[in-house]
């Protein structure tokens, strides 16, 4: 002890006494580690079922992950043993706690993949546990909805594990807490949860935690989505041709390139008919937007609409036509219900 205090005198005076005192306490307890032993045998005898369980946790000091093998024999005896663990010190650059938690989850996913490759065991089930809800929300979200930092790590996690394998637990049930926060030797040797996992891990699956992931109204790390809406319809194409037949052929070719991806051969009658319907619907929508919108929603048109007396309706092609009592006549359909064309439109003229 006198030697330790002598070292304290040689240290930089800026080091707080509390830090040096904690370091001395650790050194004083360090011989206790000599009494710690870990059994190499990780599986129960004659195991018929082997599962892989991983836990991760984070603090401001660092993050870590630990993996346990859960095995069961034919008589129902269950054993759980620590198999793999690793920790990381938090980066010098300040990173928010949710992002550090995500780094812990990424480390766990990496260790799980390594464990499966190393052991060569066909695991009955792989279950990953975290006590941080924001991290679990990120893992269950497509990475393209997230910001760059979160998106890169979530994509890596989803590549090395399945989001359905991730579950929520209470902080008190997470053995990885010892990794992220650290423990003095006297506490470490008594930490049965570290060596064998939570108590419920050696029980039936019905006793496992089944915590529902709470819904968050505002999940951090999400991209802002912008929605752009155009105001009105550009009808410049309709004004460029003095011949209606030429306009129909131009529209027909445009529709062919868009929908059929066919660039050769003469236009068919069907293509010209569809082009004409498209032109009619376009000019109707420019002039009668409100009426068409109401009719599509099953509502009546506004009482002040200039089309009210014509009892308009939409046919099977969503073209606006005249209604009324002529429906009961023996005239042809196009005569009973003529198409409504706005007189102010260039195409109508």
Examine the domain organization and report whether 269 and 198 are in the same domain: no
Q: Where are the alpha helices (DSSP H) in 141-240?
A: 148-160, 177-181, 185-188, 192-196
Burial of 271 (0-12, 13-18, 19+ CB in 10 A): buried
The pLDDT score that the predictor gives to residue 229 is 65
Let me know if residue 225 belongs to a domain: no
Q: How confident is the model at residue 327 (pLDDT cuts 50, 70, 90)?
A: confident
Q: How confident is the model at residue 139 (pLDDT cuts 50, 70, 90)?
A: very high
Examine the domain organization and report whether 59 and 127 are in the same domain: yes
Let me know if residue 341 belongs to a domain: no
Let me know if residue 296 belongs to a domain: yes
CA gap 262, 274 in Å, rounded:
16
When the pLDDT of each residue in the chain is averaged and rounded to a whole number, the result is 85
The tens digit of pLDDT for each residue in 11-69 reads 555 556 666 677 777 777 788 888 788 778 889 999 999 999 999 999 988 999 999 99
Examine the domain organization and report whether 302 and 163 are in the same domain: no
User: How crowded is residue 58: how many other Cβ atoms within 10 Å of its Cβ?
Assistant: 31
The pLDDT score that the predictor gives to residue 2 is 45
For 94, the token pair is 């300040």
Let me know if residue 312 belongs to a domain: yes
Examine the domain organization and report whether 168 and 254 are in the same domain: no
The pLDDT score that the predictor gives to residue 35 is 79
Residue 64 belongs to what domain range? Answer: 36-207
The pLDDT score that the predictor gives to residue 115 is 94
The pTM score is 0.61
Q: How confident is the model at residue 9 (pLDDT cuts 50, 70, 90)?
A: very low
Domain containing residue 60: CATH number: 3.30.420
Looking at the 3D structure of the chain, how many domains does it have? 2
Tokens 């393209």 -> residue = 144
* Average pLDDT for 162-167: 94
CA gap 17, 346 in Å, rounded:
88
CA gap 124, 117 in Å, rounded:
15
Examine the domain organization and report whether 114 and 166 are in the same domain: yes
Helix H or strand E encompassing 50: strand 47-58
Q: How confident is the model at residue 5 (pLDDT cuts 50, 70, 90)?
A: very low
Please say if the pLDDT value at position 218 is more than 60. yes
Let me know if residue 180 belongs to a domain: yes
């Amino acid at each position: 002890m006198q030697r330790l205090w002598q070292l304290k005198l040689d240290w930089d005076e800026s080091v707080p006494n509390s830090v040096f005192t904690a370091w001395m306490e650790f050194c004083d307890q360090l011989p206790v580690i000599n009494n710690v032993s870990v059994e190499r045998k990780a599986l129960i005898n004659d195991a018929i079922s082997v599962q892989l369980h991983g836990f991760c946790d984070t603090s401001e000091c660092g993050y870590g992950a630990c993996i346990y093998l859960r095995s069961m024999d034919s008589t129902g005896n269950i054993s759980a043993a620590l198999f793999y663990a690793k920790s990381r010190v938090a980066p010098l650059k300040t990173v928010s706690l949710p992002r550090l938690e995500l780094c812990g989850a990424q480390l766990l996913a990496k260790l799980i993949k390594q464990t499966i490759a190393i052991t060569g065991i066909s695991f009955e089930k792989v279950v990953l546990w975290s006590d941080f809800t924001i991290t679990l929300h990120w893992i269950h979200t497509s990475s393209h909805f997230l910001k760059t930092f979160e998106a890169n790590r979530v994509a890596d996690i989803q590549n090395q594990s399945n989001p359905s394998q991730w579950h929520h637990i209470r902080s008190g049930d997470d053995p990885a807490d010892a990794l992220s926060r650290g423990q003095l030797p006297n506490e470490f040797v008594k930490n049965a949860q570290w060596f064998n996992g939570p108590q419920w891990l050696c029980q039936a699956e019905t006793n496992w935690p089944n915590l529902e992931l709470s819904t968050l109204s505002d999940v951090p790390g999400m991209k802002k989505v912008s929605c752009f809406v155009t105001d009105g319809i550009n009808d410049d194409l309709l004004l460029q041709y003095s011949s209606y037949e030429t306009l129909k052929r131009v529209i027909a070719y445009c529709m062919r390139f868009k929908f059929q991806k066919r660039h050769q051969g003469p236009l068919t009658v069907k293509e010209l008919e569809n082009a004409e319907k498209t032109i009619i619907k376009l000019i109707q929508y420019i002039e009668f937007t409100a009426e068409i919108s109401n009719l599509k929603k099953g509502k009546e048109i506004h009482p002040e609409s200039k089309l009210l007396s014509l009892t308009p309706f939409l046919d099977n092609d969503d073209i606006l036509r005249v209604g009324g009592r002529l429906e009961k006549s023996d005239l042809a359909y196009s005569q009973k219900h003529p198409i409504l064309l706005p007189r102010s439109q260039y195409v109508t003229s």
